[in-house]
Structure 1
Amino acid sequence: MSALSTRRSRVLAVAFLLATLFGLCVWFGSYGVAPALGAYPTEQVVGPTPDQYVGGPVTLAGPVVDTDPVTMRITYRGTEARTLTITDVETPVEPGDELRVFGTLVDEDTVAATTAFAVPPAGYLYTYVVSFVSGLWVLTRLATHWRLDAGALVRRTESLTLDGVRTRLGIGGANDDA
């Protein structure tokens, strides 16, 4: 008999693994600036104290304010903001686009971009709509092809149809003469 043979021990093992995963996420999120680990200074640390990051790599995000030269606004500490000039931007940008930049902080107000890309405002709406529709599709497939049996998912022998749902709920099927 294995250690994970009872339902209680399986539930405890899953709870332990989820708690460990959550703890590791919090631990990784607590890292400060560590370029060797891929954690470059962001707008949250560059905004209030840019002088200590001059000459080093930064990764920033914010809306484009102007395009000649490319200027973006970074927000930090919730409500405080600064405007930075971004040089060497090869991607076309428009005011209002969300600009993501990786580059070198040349001085307190200028970033020489190594990589930059812009996300138009409609890009976020598209992402949310596609994600929502995809989630509904997965939920529908889950409900029609699987059932819950004693706390476990079991594959249905026959897929559940809309008429089957109506019959189970007592609403009636497609052959009603209403």
Structure 2
Amino acid sequence: MKNRSPSGRSENRGRRVAAAIFLLSTIFVCLIWFGGAPIEPSAGVFPGDTESVQDYEEHLDSRVVISGPVVETEPLTVRVSTESGEMMDIQVTSVRRTLAEGDVLSVYGTLHPGQRIEAIETVRKPAGGYWRTRALSLLAGLWVLCRGLRHWRPDIRTMLIQRRDSPLSLSDSEDTDA
């Protein structure tokens, strides 16, 4: 007969640990597998910045995805850099949006001779706009953490997260005489 906790749950810690290790390992393997996926346009995996700069001639007249800061607006030019630090300025055509120097532009398009790409789709990221995203993400994460800790409590011994009988509060209304 299995040992049961007061709440009626089976205390099979080994199975929970094994399940957690299995799930984390699976996620890790999937990340490595996707990161090592070969370029396969028919599967939606197009050459990126590194491949487009290092093997420029090989990817001519092919669809690629590049990203980089706008260094010139007339003609529209994006500076693409690789992981090894190589850089190439690529002229972007067929863009119907207003851009400023410093904006980060991601371009999906066809690479042509003369360091030119004909854009099929573009995504503009405003220069310096990431601090707001990170600040809002941090704020939202802290809010979720506080809400979670207010209503739930971790039990390290049994490796469970259990609901609190009453949520934690900042004021001790039970101790005040009114």
- TM-score, reference length from structure 1: 0.85
SS class of match (1:122): coil
- The 1:122/1:23 distance shift into structure 2, 3 A limit, reads same
* Alignment partners' CA distance in 1, 2:118 and 2:60: 11
Establish whether residue 154 from structure 1 lines up as the match of residue 162 from structure 2.
yes
Distance in structure 1 (CA, Å) of the matches to 2:126 and 2:147:
32
8 Å CA contact 1:148–1:154 kept in 2: the answer is yes
- The CA deviation string for residues 98-142 of structure 1, in whole angstroms up to 9 with x for no partner, is 000000002250000000121112321111011000001001101
Deviation for aligned residue 1:174? 8.8
Instruction: Answer 1 or 2: which has greater helix percent.
Output: 1
Cross-structure match for 2:28: 22
Counterpart secondary structure, 1:61: strand
In structure 1, list runs of 5 or more residues that go unmatched.
Answer: 165-172
Paired residues in the alignment total: 165
Deviations 1:56-103 (A, max 9, x none): 100000000011111000001332101000000112111000000000
Instruction: Report the AA paired with residue 117 of structure 2.
Output: V
Provide the alpha-carbon RMSD of the alignment: 2.1
Change (3 A) 1:111 1:102: same
Is the 8 Å Cα contact of residues 51 and 108 (structure 1) preserved in structure 2? no
Q: Quote the residue 2:15 is aligned against.
A: 9
Partner amino acid, structure 1, of 2:129: G
Kept in 2: contact 1:54–1:107 (CA 8 A) = yes
| Contact residue 61 and residue 110 of structure 2 kept, 8 A | yes
Greater shift, 138-147 or 7-16, is seen at: 7-16
User: Take 1:174 and 1:129, find their aligned partners in 2: how far apart are those partners?
Assistant: 37
Instruction: Mark the runs of 5 or more structure 2 residues left unpaired by the alignment.
Output: 2-9
Within-5 A mapping of 1:125-144: 125-144=131-150
Aligned partners of 2:42 and 2:62: how far apart in 1? 12
Task: Determine the structure 2 residue equivalent to 1:52.
Answer: 58
Alignment of 1:1-178 (within 5 A): 6-149=12-155, 150-164=158-172
The question of whether the paired residues in 1 share the 8 Å contact of 2:105 and 2:122 is answered with yes
**Runs in 1 of length 4+ with deviation above 3 angstroms?**
none
Equivalent position SS for 2:142? helix
Structure 2: distance between partners of 1:21 and 1:139: 23
* TM-score normalised by length of structure 2: 0.85
User: Does the aligned pair in 1 maintain the 2:13–2:159 contact within 8 Å?
Assistant: no
